[in-house]
Amino acid sequence: MMGLRFVLYQLKKNPLSIIGVAILITFIIIAILAPFIAPPPEGHYDRYMIPRDGFSPTPQPPSEEHIFGTTEGQYDIFYGVIWGTRSAFQVGLIVIGVVLVIGILLGSLSGYFGGIIDEIIMRITDIFLAFPALILAMAITVALGPSLKSVMLALITVSWPPYARLIRGDILVVREEDYVEASRGIGSSHLRIITRHILPNSIYPTLIMASLDIGAVVLAAAALSFLGLGAPEGYADWGQMINFSRNWIVGPPGDPLAYWYTVTIPGIFIFLFVMGWNLLGDSFRDILDPRLARR
């Protein structure tokens, strides 16, 4: 087991991970301060719906009123990307949170009890892992009816199996430790053994994997939104904002880059958000894999 302090110390030594942390902290601040950075207009019924300035289909370039310009249908890009940060964190945290609960629950059952329970749970994970994840998520979203909630449910459904497997593997190792045997010897209940002795000593890699998966989950959700299966029209969601730009990739003759802002700005937000998690993830991997770090 590796102490948290050691991990933090190693992180501080690596410039890439510092960049990653800085990017993520910036996004956290944006998400928290969203109501002040991009205040919703008076009487706006839902803060997550991007305010519109008219209904003209042609995007408008950045101006004083709309500093990042507007998309088709006159949705304000600045408002969308700022509140989209909140949506991104929400999707990432909710999906990963639920996935963790399911994964830990099934993984512990599987690893601790073994036998037929283990066999059944592992065969179920086999089935879910037998599909390319995004394809299965797409089918589930369509089956549930396209919406942001369906996208999250679909991502939860396709994301839990690797977690159940990871935690099962780590529990199989810890299960044989002397302190577990000792606790069993003094007559502790299964629940107590799992929650007090096994999980605290085996959950660490899973938690790290989970925190780093947030970027990937947000990317997948954005992809589904981009395909038109996610958030309702006008919802502050990066993937959807890029979908809005699809018809405006090439400008009028003579000015091919006229609408650059519609695709570039929301894309940079997704890219930086995901890269923040990946930078952090890469350094975690190096720290946790001492075989590589030593050289």
List residues near other proteins by CB under 8 A. 16, 123-124, 126-128, 130-136, 138-144, 146, 215, 219, 222-223, 226-229, 239, 242, 245-246, 249-251, 256-257, 260, 263-264, 267, 270-271, 274-275, 278-279, 282, 289, 291-292, 295
CA–CA gap between residue 77 and residue 264 (Å, rounded): 11
CA–CA gap between residue 156 and residue 167 (Å, rounded): 17
Burial of residue 164 (CB within 10 Å: 0-12, 13-18, 19+) is buried
Q: Give the dihedral sign, CA 14/20/26/32.
A: negative
Nearer to other proteins, 193 or 219 (CB): 219
Q: How far is the CB of 262 from other proteins (least distance, A)?
A: 10
Which residues have a Cβ under 8 Å from the Cβ of 102 and sit 6 or more positions away? Answer: 156, 160, 163, 164
Q: How far is the CB of 229 from other proteins (least distance, A)?
A: 6
107 close to 165: Cβ distance less than 8 angstroms:
yes
Nearer to other proteins, 82 or 220 (CB): 220
Nearer to other proteins, 153 or 184 (CB): 153
Q: How far is the CB of 200 from other proteins (least distance, A)?
A: 26
Nearer to other proteins, 91 or 194 (CB): 91
Q: How far is the CB of 10 from other proteins (least distance, A)?
A: 16
Nearer to other proteins, 91 or 193 (CB): 91
Q: Give the dihedral sign, CA 43/45/46/49.
A: negative
